[in-house]
Structure 1
Amino acid sequence: MPPTPDATAPGAAVPDRGRADACPGALRLHPADDGALARVRLPGGLLTVRQALALADAAEALGDGELETTSRGNVQLRGLASHCGAELAERLRAVGLLPSDTHERVRNIVASPLAGLDGHGFADVQAWVRELDARLCASDWAAGLSGKFLFALDDGRGDVAAFDADVTLIAGPDGSALLRLGRAAHGRPVPAGQEVAAVLDAARTFLDVLRESGRKAWHLREVPELLPAGPVPVPALAGAAPAVGVVRTAGSFPEVAGGLSVGMRFGRAGAAQWRELAGACAGEIRLTPWRGAVLPGAPADRLPALAAAGFRTAPGSPWERATACTGLPGCAKSRADVRADAARALDAAAATGSPPVGGLPATGLPATGLPVTGFPATGLPTAGLPMAGLPTAGLPVHWSGCERRCGHPAGRWVDVLATGQGYRVTVNGPAAAGPAVDVTNEEMAEAVAEARRTTK
């Protein structure tokens, strides 16, 4: 799922952020009802085997034994003792997961997780990820960015370009690239070899404008003078997860022998599961913004073991694009244990043979539909190359324990809100359809499945 929108609606007043953001980090632990929470930034979702094992060890030794992936491809440890910060930092530094104490919360970089694997993109953006991360950490000014400021590096397929990041870099054919700011529908060309420099210049300009004007802002979209003039509709890009299963190469990247893609229920997996994941990979793990993992080069014969460990390995189930907030007992504001209730509803839908919601073929390749290639007058890719990850049916669904709706997706989605007596099911977002329906826990699975089939 794309990160939760945190900006004003078009035409609304631009917020003046009078306080620093409260995003947790690896050094700034966040107190929660189930213990302290640490968020470890993983630019591009990239992890080595050694790093994955170190996170599993830390979760067992210091936390509740589980790891939680986020909508930005980062990892959270929960249930931590409030005094364990120094030991956690030491463990992270030892494996290269804390390259800068001053910049650790601003390393928010999402990237197309299938780049270089399936032949659908124009560039293997992982090189951009590594360069951007290194230059961010080396730039003193970058420490002034909000912990919510997001960079997106899209290989041209339109998956992470749909996230409305603060700065988006989109690869094009023949080495071309576009830079897009905020939610602008237009981008500007970037000279070859200057892609990362252009991204950094945009972020620095944002901070310069804030300093000169004396304003406070967390996002570039909150500074109108940096955006193109006139109406800028949000582009209709895919933003869907890679399918679970086998990632097959299309021949464009012969040096990569495909790999595997797996999903995690609500992004959570225990330490033992993480060790199974590390054992299956061929050197690198790419956590996705859709709370899954891509294992480049991993052989298909590892899928049964991953399925037995509790990972989702078959596409098209009701669990596709289903998310939930923390809920009880981790959040005192929640009115229900939403993850337990949501899991029962999703399993019930699967048991009754509810139609697949993802429109994903059995090969494990993302569905194709919207073709994209080149950069026409609008500045965004529109025609030619099949865009991977475009779902053909079914809305995403998100369970929330309170009205804050933490972690909900962008666009249209099925909102399942705990009321204390059950749940209220609504189709939310742009062009919302139909009234809210109040249901009991027993009625929820059917109501959610019906709402996800909404097409109007």
Structure 2
Amino acid sequence: MLAAMPPVPTPKPAPGAPRVRERGDACPGALRLHSADDGHLARLRLPAGRLTARQVGVLADAAEALGDGRISVTSRGNAELRGLADGCGAELAALLAEAGLLPSATHERVRNIVASPAAGLDGLGAADVQLWARELDERLCAAPWAAALSGRFLFVLDDGRGDVTGLGGDVTLVAVDPRTALLHLGGRAVRVAAADAPRAALAAARVFLSAARAAGTGAWRVRELPEDAGLDVRDVRDVRDVRDMRVGRDGQVERGGRDAREALVAEEVPEPVLPQGPPPAPGPLGPAALHVLAPLGRLTAAQLLALLPADEVRLTPWRGAVVVGAGPDRTSALDAAGLITRPDSPWAGVSACTGRPGCAKSLADVRADAVPGRPGLPVHYSGCERRCGHPHGDWVDVLAAPGGGYLVDGAPVPRTDLAPAVTTARTAPRTTR
């Protein structure tokens, strides 16, 4: 279980045909490591990006003792450790488990929960969805059948400001007011009580698994289901108690022996629209929190520790962290640690994949070639056409080209001319991809 797993190639479907998955996904986890050119990689799921102060210290220690001394923040607010040596899997798992970062060995890769990082801090959201995230995580880990979800299946919990609704969630919850939430699944939505929101989200995941099983295509995500798969968000009203579902030996969801039901009131909403809002800018969030960004999405162990003291730290989908319990007086110290603390920083919104030498597929050392520029649209540097870790929504695509140089939104640019080309692309009007 702790061995590094090679990547599994995924054949592309014929035009117009549904994607067929013949095996489970190969996403790395904390227990299933991925082999890369710079060593092994572990991806640690952090529901809502949340870390206690003690867990921050453990993660920094693990990066220095077992890895390359850095922590990558993913586009889902998770953490990755790179440069891990052969045979360190058991030691890493023990460290994480002792710190409460590995509550379920069977479910650790499916704990993909993103929640509005500023919820409950700045008074702008309709509900504190961070609390929903904790309950959903507990329910998810307690449901044996949920282990059948793909490591790519994503729950998104938005507090009404629309900052995370554009992240491509398979199941999306949006707070409408303190008492009400909208549950979105497959382009349709139902209205549920806020108190039922986490349970409804888990029920929606069961509806997806049932539809995927009936379709027989092995879909990992909602968007991979055939159009006639019969996915219907209204089926959450027929949710069974989580104890009544299990995963069989073939990996398929089966019903248990009990037939208890839980009532879930869910009213369909015609023509639902997801709210869309910007992510929080670097800087203060309310009176006692700060949002900072990691340079190119990667923190050194020292930079991670510089976030302390804190009541908690929330890693964000924008490759940064919300430091809860930190006032504006901490800004100078975090800036001195090399973190991005201001929206006008030339490095704000700049991210990159691993690139060379860590990734064998990369055509360039994109992290070394990345340049700052006048703030504007997010910009992502990619070493190959997979564009790993790119932002969602509208962004500037800087892609390494064969033979040297880059393509900036498709236009060839010599490496020496990247700075003006990227600045122009970040500030030029455009339509959403």
The yes-or-no answer on 1:105 pairing with 2:88 is no
Aligned 8 A contact 1:221 1:227 in 2: no
Q: Root-mean-square deviation (CA), in Å? A: 2.2
How many angstroms does 1:167 deviate by?
0.1
How many angstroms does 1:228 deviate by?
7.9
Kindly tell me: are residues 236 and 134 of structure 1, through their superposed partners in 2, closer, same or farther at Cα, counting changes over 3 Å? closer
In the other structure, the counterpart of 1:262 is: 292
| SS of the residue 1:86 aligns to | helix
Q: Which whole-Å CA distance do the structure 1 matches of 2:357 and 2:120 have between them?
A: 41
In the other structure, the counterpart of 1:383 is: none
How high is the sequence identity, in percent, across the aligned residues?
A: 58
How do residues 12-27 of structure 1 correspond to structure 2 at under 5 angstroms? 12-27=16-31
Q: Which whole-Å CA distance do the structure 1 matches of 2:202 and 2:418 have between them?
A: 46
In the other structure, the counterpart of 2:218 is: 216
In the other structure, the counterpart of 1:422 is: 405
Q: Which whole-Å CA distance do the structure 1 matches of 2:275 and 2:121 have between them?
A: 24
What are the Cα deviations for residues 271-310 of structure 1, in whole angstroms up to 9, with x where unaligned? 111111123x2x2111111011111221221111111111
**AA of the residue aligned to 2:404:** Q
How many angstroms does 1:267 deviate by?
1.5
In the other structure, the counterpart of 2:251 is: none
Kindly tell me: are residues 415 and 12 of structure 1, through their superposed partners in 2, closer, same or farther at Cα, counting changes over 3 Å? farther
Aligned 8 A contact 1:181 1:221 in 2: no
Choose which of 280, 283, 291 in structure 2 pairs with 1:245. Answer: 283
How do residues 118-267 of structure 1 correspond to structure 2 at under 5 angstroms? 118-182=122-186, 184=187, 186-223=188-225, 224=227, 225-226=230-231, 237-238=276-277, 240-248=278-286, 257-267=287-297
In the other structure, the counterpart of 1:48 is: 52
In the other structure, the counterpart of 2:417 is: 443
- Which consecutive unaligned segments of at least 5 residues does structure 1 have? 1-5, 249-256, 358-394, 427-435
**AA of the residue aligned to 1:246:** P
How many angstroms does 1:335 deviate by?
1.0
Q: Which whole-Å CA distance do the structure 1 matches of 2:22 and 2:224 have between them?
A: 13
Aligned 8 A contact 2:400 2:407 in 1: yes
- Which consecutive unaligned segments of at least 5 residues does structure 2 have? 1-9, 235-270
Report runs of 4+ in structure 1 exceeding 3 Å deviation.
232-236
In the other structure, the counterpart of 2:3 is: none
How do residues 362-441 of structure 1 correspond to structure 2 at under 5 angstroms? 395-419=377-401, 420-426=403-409, 436-441=410-415
Q: Which whole-Å CA distance do the structure 1 matches of 2:387 and 2:223 have between them?
A: 21
Choose which of 299, 321, 332 in structure 1 pairs with 2:349. Answer: 321
Moved more, 48-57 or 404-413: 404-413
Q: Which whole-Å CA distance do the structure 2 matches of 1:285 and 1:309 have between them?
A: 16
Q: TM (normalized to structure 2)? A: 0.84
Aligned 8 A contact 1:414 1:425 in 2: yes
Aligned 8 A contact 2:399 2:407 in 1: yes
In the other structure, the counterpart of 2:96 is: 92
The yes-or-no answer on 1:304 pairing with 2:332 is yes
Q: Which whole-Å CA distance do the structure 1 matches of 2:183 and 2:233 have between them?
A: 12
Aligned 8 A contact 1:241 1:321 in 2: no
Q: Which whole-Å CA distance do the structure 1 matches of 2:78 and 2:109 have between them?
A: 11
In the other structure, the counterpart of 2:301 is: 271
Q: TM (normalized to structure 1)? A: 0.79
| SS of the residue 1:193 aligns to | helix
In the other structure, the counterpart of 1:375 is: none
How do residues 287-298 of structure 1 correspond to structure 2 at under 5 angstroms? 287-298=315-326
Kindly tell me: are residues 319 and 204 of structure 1, through their superposed partners in 2, closer, same or farther at Cα, counting changes over 3 Å? same
Kindly tell me: are residues 227 and 397 of structure 1, through their superposed partners in 2, closer, same or farther at Cα, counting changes over 3 Å? farther
Q: Which whole-Å CA distance do the structure 2 matches of 1:398 and 1:125 have between them?
A: 29
What are the Cα deviations for residues 77-117 of structure 1, in whole angstroms up to 9, with x where unaligned? 00001210000000001010000000000000000000011
In the other structure, the counterpart of 2:254 is: none
Moved more, 441-450 or 83-92: 441-450
Q: Which whole-Å CA distance do the structure 2 matches of 1:72 and 1:20 have between them?
A: 20
Q: Which whole-Å CA distance do the structure 1 matches of 2:201 and 2:126 have between them?
A: 18
Task: Kindly tell me the number of residue pairs found equivalent between the two proteins.
Answer: 380
Q: Which whole-Å CA distance do the structure 2 matches of 1:143 and 1:305 have between them?
A: 42
Aligned 8 A contact 1:136 1:142 in 2: yes
In the other structure, the counterpart of 1:387 is: none
How many angstroms does 1:234 deviate by?
8.3
Q: Which whole-Å CA distance do the structure 1 matches of 2:384 and 2:273 have between them?
A: 27
What are the Cα deviations for residues 237-287 of structure 1, in whole angstroms up to 9, with x where unaligned? 23x432111112xxxxxxxx43111111122111111111123x2x21111
| SS of the residue 2:420 aligns to | helix
